[in-house]
Structure 1
C-alpha cells in the first residue's frame, strides 16, 4: 500500500513539473530538490494538492518539495530508477543562488538536520527519566530512588544521556559528510574530542576534575556539549582531508 502511494506521488510530481523541465535532482532528509529549466511553468498549488506533499518553495536555484523523512528517499529512488535524471549535489545546486551568508546558514542547517531525530528521541527519554525519578512520583507508589535497581538506573542513563554525551562526535560526522569528507573520519575525530582520557568538561566546570596541562600552560579537557568546537574541527578536518587526498599516493 505504501509503495503504491509513493509511486503515485512520484508520477504526480513528474506530470506537473514535466520530465523535460527537470535538469537534475537530489534530496536531503525531508525534501526533494529539483533543478528546473522553467520554474514559472510549475503550478505550486497542484504540487501541494498531491497526497503526501507537505509544502513547496523555490530558493537558491532549487525547486524543493517537502515530502518528509523516509518518503523522500523512496520517491527519489522511484524517479531515478525510472528516468535516470542527472544527479547534482545540494552544494552544486546552492552555488547557483543566494549570497555567502545565506549559503553558510543553509550549510549549518544541513549539518544539524540529520541529528535532529536522535536529539528529539533522546529528549523524550530524558523527560521520562526526570518524571520517573521524581521523588513526588516515586512517593505515590511508596518508592524512593534508593529502591530502584541499579541496573534499571544504568539502562535509563544509557537511553537518555548517550546522544548528548557524544553530540560532538555526531556533529563532526555530519560536518564531514556535508563538506565532502569521509564521515567515518569525522566521527572518529569527534570521539577523540570526548575521549575518556581527557578530563570531562562538566566535571572540570563543577570543580570535580582539573585540566591536564600541556607544555605547562595549555589546559586539555574534553569537549562534551561543545557544538561550536565540533563544527570548527569538522570543517577544518574535512578541508584538510580533501587537500591531502589530492596529493596522497593511491597505495
Structure 2
C-alpha cells in the first residue's frame, strides 16, 4: 500500500468513516470535506496523520491542510476509494447553504470581490515598478533624469496602472451579476455604462474641472470611475431583476426582451437613484476608514496588526477587500496592506521559533515549511498547524503583528496595490519605501520569534497538550 493511500484511509476513518462524508474536494493546499456530523470528527487523530499540517472547520467544510502537490495526491487516492467528489467550486456552492446569515453574507461578499483581486494585484505591481523606474537615483544609473522620460512612455505606464480602476464598476457589476444568478455579460455592460465617456468624468468632477449633469434640476449625474459600492448594489438589484423578468417573458422573446428591459431599468435606477445615494455612502465609509488608518501614535497599526489574523480565523477577512479597492481607486495607495503584512509575517516568525526550538522531528517538518509559507503570504498552515494548536505562539504572533503594525503606521507606509504581503509584497513598495517595508516586517518577525522562543513554546507544553 502506498503512503498516500494509507493517509487517505486514515483521513476517512478520522473524520467519522465513509458514512459521515457527503463529498470531498480540494483546493491548492487543502482537502475539503463536507460531513454529515462534525461531532464525529476526531480532531486529534486527524492532526496526527502523516503530512497533515493542520485541520479546521470553516465555511461549512472540514479543511485539512496538506500543502501544494501533496493534497492532489491524497485527493486522488480518496477519489479512488469510491467517495463522492466535487470540484471545489461546486462544493463551495453546497457549503454556502450552511452557517449563519452573517457568515453566508460575508462569503458572498468574498465571492464577488476575490475574482477581481488578481488584476488589481497586477495593477499594483505596475504602480510599484513605475515608482521604481521614475526614482531619480535609478534614472541616474542610466544618465537620465525625470525630464528625459518621454510622454509616450508615461502614457504607456498610465494604460497599465489606470485601466483597471477606470473600469472598476464594470468588473464589480460583472462579478456581482455572476454571483447573484444574473447573466455576467449584462452586468459587464451595465458597469461599462456607469463609466461611459458620455458622462462627466468622476475624477474631473471631484477636482472641480468638470460639472455634473443635473436631471430634474436636483439629481447629479456623473460617471463612476473608480467606484465600488454603486456598481455592487446595482449588480445585486440588476441580477435579481433579470431573473424576475426572465420568468415572465415568453421563451421566444427572452433573448431580446430580458437584456433590453434589464439594462434600461437598471441604468435609469443606477444613474438617478443608486449612484447618487451609494456614492455618498461610499465616500463616508472611505472617510471613516481613512480617519481610522490615520489615528495618531500608531494606534490603528496596533489594532489592525494585532487583530488581523484573529479575523482571518473567523473567515470574514474578505469583507475588507472592498476597503482596499476603494483606497487604491481613490488615493492610489493602500496603508492597510502595510499593516496587515506585519500580522502575516509575525505568524511566520512564531512558527519559525517553534520549528527551531522543538526537538520533535515531525513538528520541525511541519513548523519550518509553515513559517516559509507565511513569509510568502499564506498563514493558514502556520496558524492552524502550529501556532493556534499550541496557543501561546499564536498570541505572541499577534503581539508581533501589533508591533510591526505600529511601526508601519508611524512611518506612514503605503502599498501601491493589495493582496500580496511579506516577501511578494516587496513589489508594492518599490517606490522608495522598500527599506522601511523590510524593516517593519523584520520587527514583526523578530518580536514574534523572540517572545515565542522565550515564553510561547516548549516541548514540555507540547507533551501536555498532546497527552
TM-score range for the pair, normalised by the shorter chain length? 0.7 to 0.9
Partner of 2:154 in structure 1?
153
Return the match for 2:11 from 11, 16, 23.
16
- What's the TM-score once normalised by structure 1's chain length? 0.76
Match of residue 97, structure 1, among 90, 96, 99: 99
Secondary structure of 1:121's counterpart equals helix
* Counterparts of 1:95 and 1:242, CA distance in 2: 20
Q: How far apart are residue 21 of structure 1 and its match?
A: 3.8
Find the residue that maps to 1:219 and give its secondary structure.
strand
The whole-number CA distance in structure 2 between the counterparts of 1:182 and 1:28 is: 26
TM-score of the pair, normalised by structure 2: 0.44
Q: 2:108–2:179: 8 Å Cα contact kept in structure 1?
A: yes
1:111-169 residue CA offsets vs partner (Å, 9 max, x unmatched) = 22112222112111111112212345434533233422333222222222222222222
The residue that corresponds to 2:57 in the other structure is: 58
Q: 1:45 aligns with which of 47, 60, 78?
A: 47
In structure 2, the partner of 1:244 is 245
1:226 is the counterpart of 2:222: no
Conserved in 1, the CA contact under 8 Å of 2:215 and 2:221? yes
Cα distance in 2 between the residues matched to 1:189 and 1:74? 43
Taking the aligned partners of 2:171 and 2:70, their CA distance within structure 1 comes to 23
- Identify the residue that residue 174 of structure 1 maps to in structure 2: 175
For the pair shown, the structure with the greater C-alpha radius of gyration is 2
- Structure 1: which 5+ runs fail to align? 1-7
CA RMSD of aligned residues (A): 3.7
**Which piece of structure 1 moves more, 201-210 or 83-92?**
83-92
Tell me the residue number matched to 1:36. Answer: 35
Map 1:113-192; keep pairs closer than 5 Å.
113-192=114-193
Segments of structure 2 that go 5 or more residues without pairing to the other structure are: 253-467
Moved more, 67-76 or 17-26: 67-76
Aligned residue-pair number: 240
CA contact (8 A) 2:22 2:84 kept: no
Query: Which has the larger share of strand?
Result: 1
Does the 8 A contact of 1:16 with 1:46 survive in 2? no
> How far apart are the structure 1 equivalents of 2:237 and 2:71?
31
- Name the CA shift for 1:74/1:163 in 2 (closer, same or farther; >3 Å): farther
Q: Distance in 2 between matches of 1:163 and 1:75?
A: 39
* Secondary structure of residue in 2 paired with 1:57: strand
Distance 1:132 1:211, change over 3 A: same
Is contact 1:169–1:189 with CA below 8 Å preserved after alignment?
Answer: yes
Contact map agreement 2:7 2:50 (CA 8 A) in 1: no
SS at match of 2:251: coil
Specify whether residues 169 and 16 from structure 1 end up closer, same or farther in structure 2 by C-alpha distance, changes over 3 A only.
same
How far off its partner does 1:10 sit? 9.9
Structure-1 separation of matches of 2:236 and 2:32: 24
Deviates more, 1:70-79 or 1:239-248: 70-79
Distance 2:41 2:142 in 1: 64
CA contact (8 A) 1:29 1:69 kept: yes
C-alpha deviation, 1:230, in angstroms = 1.8
